[in-house]
Amino acid sequence: MIVWLMDAVGPGMASGVTDSQSRAITNAEALIAGGQAVSARVEFAYARIGGSRLEDGYQRTGTGWSASCCADGTVTWTPLARAAS
């Protein structure tokens, strides 16, 4: 299953999982605009649900964006830098 992970940091910490890229971005922007976060990250991931591995979790892909608040209050999104393989 494909999911989008959202992690925000700042005065508070927040994280979430959704099946919608736009919902993850909207939630991150709301946290930044509301002053609960100074930056956020939205990343595409695969959900690992039990099966033969007997463990649940998410496999991050490194594909996504990081957001930060500019001095004028707008949110700027930057693609995540992929690690060299």
Show pLDDT as tens, one digit a residue, over the chain (85 residues): 899 999 999 888 899 999 999 999 999 999 998 899 999 999 999 988 766 666 778 999 999 999 998 888 889 999 998 665 5
For residues 22 and 26, give the distance between their C-alpha atoms in angstroms, rounded to a whole number: 6
Contacts of 78 (CB under 8 A, 6+ apart): 65, 66, 67, 68
Query: pLDDT tens for residues 38-56?
Result: 999 999 999 887 666 667 7
Largest Cα separation within the chain, whole Å, is 50
